[in-house]
């Protein structure tokens, strides 16, 4: 049996890492992927390990969280420290070490293995983790689906009934070539039959689950037709005796921008709409909730064309940030 080793930070995993590991797993009988992390790095190590285990479910992915020196000139015993750490986590001594960079040759020699360099010139996949971290939007096509939710810019469309939230979400997604998240409350309301029978936790769980699933297919930005904070507002307005569980009431829910729609357009009736005369009051509640949550938001007003222009400009600015 031949055993192989791929070592990396995977900060984040990208198409180059996938190519490297795919070559390695087809070369050997048993592949071990070691994810080396430091607590000071910008993406948590545990998250990177989960990504790699999802990407390579049939290989052994192990976490090496030791605070080891990162370059040979940082410590006189650099290679011996790495050798001891790797021998502690590896299931067996590798026969081959696969890497793109030249350090792989020394690492292989230290471990008593043979070095296989894969795409050292970055000719097959011309990308690096450094470039992706610096400009993730520019290099989106090199991010695996499971990694994209970490980098995607999330925009929530928020506000009173009958202000064009769903239409705006759908049209913004089309403009930016991405996907949009529908309002899960409508699904739950259709199932329950009445507001009194709504399971509010299911409304929020469904919204979050739908959002996280679609975030994998988003292209740089994910447009969400409402979010869990809006559900809290609706539960309060409708007098529901519901307190969000700690898992649902997460103040750090990652929306980069909220588009708060003003009630300055004609009301259009709908079986799932309840407050035809309270648009201004509901708008005030929404704005207060956004301010309490310290969410970044802008108010979107005017005609449909004006709303679309305001929202489009705001998202373009967000993506440039």
Q: Give me the domains of the chain, ranges plus CATH numbers.
A: 3-142 (3.40.50.620), 152-320 (3.40.50.300)
Q: Which two tokens stand for residue 95?
A: 């026969």
pLDDT band at 249 (very low <50, low <70, confident <90, very high): low
Find the mean pLDDT for residues 54-80: 96
**What does the pLDDT average to over 24-33?**
98
Give the pLDDT score at 276: 63
298's tokens: 């802008």
Contact in structure between 52 and 27 (CB atoms under 8 Å): no
Neighbours of 36 (CB within 10 A): 23
Name the range with the highest mean pLDDT among 94-103, 196-205, 246-255: 94-103
What CA–CA distances, in Å, run from 153 to 43, 84, 252, 310? Answer: 16, 41, 14, 17
Cross-strand pairs, 36 = 64
The answer on pLDDT for 251 being more than 70 is no
pLDDT (average), residues 115-129: 92
Residue 79 contacts residue 106 (beta carbons within 8 Å)? yes
CB 112 within 8 A of CB 93: yes
Nearest residue to 93 (alpha-carbon basis) of 157, 155, 32: 32
- d(CA 107, CA 243) in angstroms, rounded, equals 54
CA distances from 271 to 190, 265, 294 (A): 10, 19, 33
What is the predicted pLDDT for the residue at 269?
Answer: 60
User: Which backbone phi and psi does 291 adopt, to 5 degrees?
Assistant: -70, -40
Helices first, then strands: H and E counts in the chain: 12, 10
Overall average pLDDT of the 141-149 stretch: 97
């Amino acid at each position: 049996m031949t055993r192989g080793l791929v070592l990396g930070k995977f900060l984040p995993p990208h198409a180059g890492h996938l190519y490297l590991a795919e070559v390695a797993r087809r070369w050997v009988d048993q592949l071990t992927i070691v994810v080396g992390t430091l607590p000071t790095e910008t993406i948590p190590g545990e998250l990177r390990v989960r990504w790699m285990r999802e990407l390579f479910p049939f290989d052994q992915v192990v976490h090496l969280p030791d605070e080891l020196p990162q370059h040979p000139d940082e410590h006189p015993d650099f290679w011996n420290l790495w050798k001891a750490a790797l021998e502690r986590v590896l299931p067996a001594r590798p026969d081959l070490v696969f890497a793109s960079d030249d350090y792989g040759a020394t690492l292989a020699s230290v471990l008593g293995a043979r070095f296989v360099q894969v795409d050292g010139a970055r000719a097959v996949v011309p990308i690096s983790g450094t470039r992706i971290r610096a400009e993730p939007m520019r290099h989106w096509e090199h991010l695996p689906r499971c990694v994209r939710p970490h980098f995607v810019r999330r925009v929530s469309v928020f506000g009173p009934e009958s202000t064009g939230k769903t239409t705006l979400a759908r049209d913004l997604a089309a403009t930016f070539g991405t996907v949009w998240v529908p309002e899960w409350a409508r699904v739950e309301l259709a199932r329950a039959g009445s507001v009194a029978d709504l399971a509010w936790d299911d409304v929020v769980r469904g919204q979050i689950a739908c959002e996280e699933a679609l975030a994998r297919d988003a292209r740089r930005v994910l447009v969400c037709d409402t979010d869990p904070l809006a559900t809290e507002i609706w539960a309060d307005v409708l007098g529901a005796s519901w307190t969000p569980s700690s898992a649902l009431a997460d103040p750090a829910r990652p929306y980069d921008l909220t588009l708060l729609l003003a009630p300055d357009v004609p009301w259009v009736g709908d079986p799932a709409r309840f407050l035809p005369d309270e648009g201004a009051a509901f708008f005030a509640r929404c704005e207060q909730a956004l301010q309490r949550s310290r969410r970044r938001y802008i108010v979107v007003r005017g005609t449909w064309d004006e709303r679309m222009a305001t929202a489009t400009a705001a998202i373009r600015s967000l993506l440039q940030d």
